[in-house]
Amino acid sequence: MTVNIPLVNGTSYCTLTAHSQESFQKTIEFYVDFLQLEKRSLDNSSVLLFNGPVSLKIVLDDDASKQKVADAQLEKLKANAGVKDWRASVHESLVFNTADIQVIKDYLVKKDLPRQAYPTDLFPMQLYTLDPLGNAVGVTSTKNAVSTMPTRPPTADEKTTSSLVSKAPSYTDLRSAVKTTDSYPSIPEGSTRPKKAIAVMTSGGDAPGMNANVRAIVRTAIFKGCRPFVVMEGYSGLVHGGPEYIKEFTWEDVRGWSSMGGTNIGTARCMEFKEREGRLLGAQHLIEAGVDALIVCGGDGSLTGADLFRSEWPSLVAELLETKKITKEQEVRYKHLNICGTVGSIDNDMSTTDATIGAYSALDRICTAIDYVEATANSHSRAFVVEVMGRNCGWLALLAGIATSADYILIPEKPASSREWQDQMCDIVSKHRSRGKRTTIVIIAEGAIAADLTPISSADVHKVLVDRLGLDTRITTLGHVQRGGTAVAYDRILATLQGVEAVNAVLDSTPDTPSPLIAINENKITRKPLVESVKLTKSVADAIHAKDFKKAMALRDTEFIEHLNNFMATNSADHNEPKLPVDKRLKIAIVNVGAPAGGINSAVYSMATYCMSQGHKPYAIYNGWSGLARHESVRSLDWKSMLGWQSRGGSEIGTNRVTPEDADLGMIAYYFQKYQFDGLVIVGGFEAFVSLNQLERARDSYAAFRIPMVLIPATLSNNVPGTEYSLGSDTALNALMEYCDVIKQSASSTRGRAFVVDVQGGNSGFLATCAALAVGAQASYVPEEGISLAQLSQDIETLADSFAKSDGRNRFGKLILKSTNASKALSAESLASVMTAEAEGKFDAKPAIPGHVQQGGLPSPIDRTRATRLAIKAVDFIENQQDIIKEARADDGLFNPDDKELSATATVLGVKGSHVRFTPIRQLYDFETEVTKRMPKIIHWEAQRAIADHLVGRKRVE
């Protein structure tokens, strides 16, 4: 049989055991010829046969009695070939799917091998033969082993790559399903690069999002033409080795993993790997499995072990060759090991990256718990001491403190003497209580210490609050609840994008390339040197143990220090002497414009409390521009009236979509002049963006608008030009993701069911795109692309084929996400009806309308903490721009509306790539905005659409 293409794919590791040297050799020859597999010797008693996705391991176990039984079974089946169905005579059989069963039949005839054909030998749909071990091995031209419908023959423009799929989970070759280009994410046509085997493992403490990371790595490796492996049970799996620990995975093996918490491939602490002998075994087992590259998802300890493993690799391989554990051929083939790290840690303690996989999920658990605790604390006027994780890093405690407006936090990076922290805590708690606050929340990291390195326990804090302040105090230790549950949307997307980049990184790596760490800085996925990141991370712990706390703080990322300063500033509000002298104190107003979005209240609270700590007077303009123009709805903000705002959804000061010109520009200018505002912070979506442009344009006519003005984007649509992140978008994404998870569970429970989910977002496809990435939706339709009939037809065909091949597998519910404005002709209901009709009974589709549920309830920790960060940056900007605009405010003759420096004092504060930037509104409005579409000209999430499609095997029609 001569073929130039792989005949089979789809089978994960399958081990066959021969009980004599003769049957061992015959079995190897049989499968090499019959399935067109390549041979790779592992040792004298085992051979690995493979052709990309198929991996058969033939093992020799000399046992004369067992061989006698196998021979008898083989002879019995041969004798019954013409009278009894082999399928009824064996417990199980290997069955593959082929696009051309006649090639297999011709081979069996030529070799004169026994065969059974169904329904007829002349036109078979199923064809069985016997291997030398007495196993029944079959191929079928049907979609599955019990179907009577033959598979669709390949079309003229498709490759003749075999569609052979076993009853084991299927492999999906996307080269025939996705338009190819010269760069990722498509596979270049005719790629001659040898297939790499890429293994992934999770190690150390588990973290939500690890499963999404593994899923992305496995499917991206397949998509890139590589063989994906998983190492079960972390480094322990490397030490133990064998197919039960180092497994080749297929496309279907990771179906539905995005929504699962923990790590399905296991993790374990492994003392053996810390010794060279353990690492030697790990190297041997990776080589035996044929692995070229290793991606490790874990914390600093796991990544330290990974980098050490790579540095020792040449000496380990040399020792294995010297002791004859591997062959010379293997030594040449596996001389180098590429390693890449993705950081999975709830502590967020890795230097050089803003976030680690699982950190924001853990923070979400903490904030939810504290929100619950706050309610009971308020009922009884109690104090609660909440202990959170973080041995050497106080990130969780710090961010939770900001997100929940905690009274005090204790973290390892900023200790004080035993007396100092007690006095500080009692002072701030007393001031809060004296101003009418009924609750007290103190958050302590498990690694909290005093300046002399003495541990501070939650019991210590409890004792101080009871003995010195007489508060009714309770302790809540959250423990491993922080690790549990499914990942939030941010972690799912972060884990997915980092998984994709990790595969790219190991494919780009050379023997001289330093091991990379996949990081995120602001909104950009980046690669950092792994060894340097780990070294910096360990330096923090070393500095703390050496009592050099100033160095420890300096080694933390600048964002950590910024968060700490923000917490201290907002927490003091008007309780201490203002920081600025009287002549520097300003009147700063804040207004909400547009639809409600998670984090708006956090921005108002943070802006006001920071203003108070600086000495400024904060004002709120209630109910937007119309409230100001009609009712003079301006009120100064005080600390007590804002208690609890940080964690509330909606908008406490009210909001609407009215712009200044719609309300009455002249009246707004009059009130600005009356209250003598020195600065303005606008929080809102596209209407807020338009409002800022109108106010900036009106400066020539109204001197009252010649003040620094900052827009903090806040909209679930995330369609404000000048930023890649808007407040509320994360809260909305979490709400939509949770809705989709529930809907998908329903779809999985009903065979052949898909849901079409209607997604908000106006003309922006951001929410639908990110949700598709987070929940693994089969397709997403967005306004930027619309819905073409060709694409819809292809998606229906793909869904029908997918359901037909599901073979009763679990987690097989399908989701289609449709932005409301993706099509004027097709609503979610209409689209579901069309899909059901065109599916011709192969599946049915139902509409699902989450509506305003997508605005979310309580704001997510990301929206709360980023709102604080952006609000404080906005106030700082207003302070720093006073000298620039001072003369223009005083004299009309000195005001030039075209002066770029003056124009830049009206700006949008946003995240662009790896930076937080202020961009002048005139630049954005005139050159970077599609005003009629209410959209930026550059769609920053476009690349994510391709990744979301590729990870579910969606075929795109150009």
Please give the positions annotated as active site.
347
Helices then strands, each counted (H, E), the chain: 30, 32
- Contact between 743 and 781 under an 8 Å Cβ cutoff? The reply is no
Q: Taking each helix axis from N to C terminus, what angle separates 624-631 and 665-675, rounded to the nearest 10 degrees?
A: 80
Q: HEC string of 634-656?
A: EEECCCHHHCCHHHCCCCCCCCE
What angle is formed at CA 928 by the lines to CA 924 and CA 933, rounded to 5 degrees?
A: 110
Residue 856 assigned as binding residue: no
DSSP structural state of residue 586: -
Residue 932 assigned as binding residue: no
Residue 468 assigned as binding residue: no
Q: How many C-beta atoms lie closer than 10 Å to residue 17's C-beta?
A: 17
Name which of 68, 34, 38, 30 is nearest 55 in CA terms.
38
Measured distance CA(90)–CA(79) in Å, rounded: 14
Residue 657 assigned as binding residue: yes
Residue 301 assigned as binding residue: yes
Residue 855 assigned as binding residue: yes
Residue 371 assigned as binding residue: no
Residue 269 assigned as binding residue: yes
Measured distance CA(553)–CA(132) in Å, rounded: 68
- Contact between 432 and 440 under an 8 Å Cβ cutoff? The reply is yes
Residue 882 assigned as binding residue: no
Residue 753 assigned as binding residue: yes
910 bridge partner residues: 917
Measured distance CA(237)–CA(291) in Å, rounded: 14
Residue 358 assigned as binding residue: no
Residue 391 assigned as binding residue: yes
DSSP structural state of residue 181: -
Contacts of 684 (CB under 8 A, 6+ apart): 591, 592, 593, 594, 597, 600, 655, 691, 711, 713, 714, 715
Residue 345 assigned as binding residue: yes
- Contact between 878 and 585 under an 8 Å Cβ cutoff? The reply is no
Residue 762 assigned as binding residue: yes
Measured distance CA(459)–CA(941) in Å, rounded: 47
Name which of 635, 698, 636 is nearest 663 in CA terms.
698
Measured distance CA(214)–CA(730) in Å, rounded: 23
Categorise residue 4: left if φ over 0, alpha if ψ from -120 to 50, beta otherwise: alpha
Measured distance CA(566)–CA(569) in Å, rounded: 5
340 bridge partner residues: 295
Task: Compute CA distances 544 → 373, 534, 552, 701, whole Å.
Answer: 31, 16, 6, 58
- SS3 label, residue 627: helix
Can you say whether the dihedral through the CA atoms of 356, 361, 362, 366 is positive or negative? Answer: positive
For 870, half-sphere exposure in the C-beta direction (CA atoms, 13 angstrom radius) is 35
Name the phi and psi angles at 465, rounded to 5.
-65, -35
Q: Residues 635-662, buried b or exposed e (16+ Cβ, 10 A)?
A: eebebeebbbbbbbbbbbbbbbbbbbeb
Residue 354 assigned as binding residue: no
Can you say whether the dihedral through the CA atoms of 566, 567, 571, 577 is positive or negative? Answer: negative
What angle is formed at CA 750 by the lines to CA 748 and CA 751, rounded to 5 degrees?
A: 90
What angle is formed at CA 291 by the lines to CA 286 and CA 297, rounded to 5 degrees?
A: 85
- Contact between 256 and 10 under an 8 Å Cβ cutoff? The reply is no
Q: HEC string of 849-899?
A: CCHHHHHCCCCCHHHHHHHHHHHHHHHHHHHHCHHHHHHHHHCHHHCCCCC
- SS3 label, residue 277: helix
Q: How many C-beta atoms lie closer than 10 Å to residue 952's C-beta?
A: 21
Residue 248 assigned as binding residue: no
Measured distance CA(685)–CA(712) in Å, rounded: 9
Residue 347 assigned as binding residue: yes
| Helix ranges restricted to H, 546-623 | 549-555, 558-572, 600-614
Residue 709 assigned as binding residue: no
Residue 396 assigned as binding residue: no
Q: Which residues line the annotated binding site?
A: 205, 269-270, 299-302, 345-347, 382, 389-391, 446, 474, 480-483, 657, 715-719, 753, 760-762, 846, 852-855, 934
Q: Which residues line the annotated binding site for substrate?
A: 345-347, 382, 389-391, 446, 474, 480-483
Q: Which residues line the annotated binding site for Mg(2+)?
A: 300
Q: Which residues line the annotated binding site for ATP?
A: 205, 269-270, 299-302
Q: Which residues line the annotated binding site for beta-D-fructose 2,6-bisphosphate?
A: 657, 715-719, 753, 760-762, 846, 852-855, 934
